[in-house]
């Protein structure tokens, strides 16, 4: 396997870890707010910030590497922009709908659960990643298109 694939795969893994940190800490903070448990500890905000940094690094690293690869190999076939945009919108809409349904479920519970649902976090991470991958590919396609 080439070094390029290892680096892009590593960035994907780092991005998934960053998304996991983000959604886990957001769920922790929202359960504290809904359950009137007070403000979450500073560690929650620190891990949320670490997840944002990790996700930002992963996206920028992947964009930089993939754009460089496409510029070096201009004959690389890419999916159409309408398909990439449609996939990003579809998976983003599924993510938002799932979050809205989960929030209404939590509000309907008389004693608000205090445990974080690991399955819901996995759902959020999966669909956020499925929305981000085509978005990164779309940005790459638009950044490397030939002008003129």
Please state, in angstroms and rounded to a whole number, the distance separating the CA atoms of residues 56 and 54: 5
What value does the mean pLDDT take over residues 118-125?
96
- How confident is the model at residue 109, as a pLDDT? 84
What mean pLDDT, rounded, does the chain reach?
92
Nearest-CA neighbor of 88 among 141, 137, 23? 137
pTM of the entire predicted model: 0.90
* Residue range 32-57, pLDDT digits in tens: 888 777 788 899 999 999 999 999 99
- The angle, 0 to 180 degrees and rounded to 10, between the axes of the packed helices 3-34 and 42-72 is 150
Burial status of residue 92 (CB atoms within 10 A of its CB: 0-12, 13-18, 19 or more): middle
Higher pLDDT, 4 or 1: 4
DSSP calls for 74-97: TT-----HHHHHHHHHHHHHHHHH
- How confident is the model at residue 148, as a pLDDT? 47
With b for 16 or more beta-carbon neighbours within 10 A and e for fewer, the 94-118 pattern comes to ebeeebeebeeebeeeeebeeeeee
* Residue range 96-120, pLDDT digits in tens: 999 999 989 988 888 888 888 899 9
């Amino acid at each position: 396997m080439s070094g390029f694939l290892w680096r892009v795969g590593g960035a994907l893994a780092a991005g998934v870890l960053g998304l996991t940190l983000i959604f886990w800490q957001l769920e922790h903070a929202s359960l504290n707010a809904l359950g009137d448990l007070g403000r979450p500890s500073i560690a929650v905000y620190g891990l949320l910030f670490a997840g944002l940094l990790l996700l930002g690094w992963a996206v920028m690293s992947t964009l930089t590497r993939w754009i460089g690869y496409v510029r070096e190999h201009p004959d690389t076939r890419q999916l159409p922009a309408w398909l990439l945009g449609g996939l990003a919108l579809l998976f983003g809409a599924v993510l938002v709908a799932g979050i809205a349904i989960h929030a209404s479920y939590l509000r309907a519970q008389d004693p608000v659960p205090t445990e974080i649902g690991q399955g819901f976090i996995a759902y959020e991470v999966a669909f956020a990643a499925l929305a981000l991958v085509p978005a990164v590919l779309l940005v790459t396609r638009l950044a490397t298109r030939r002008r003129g």
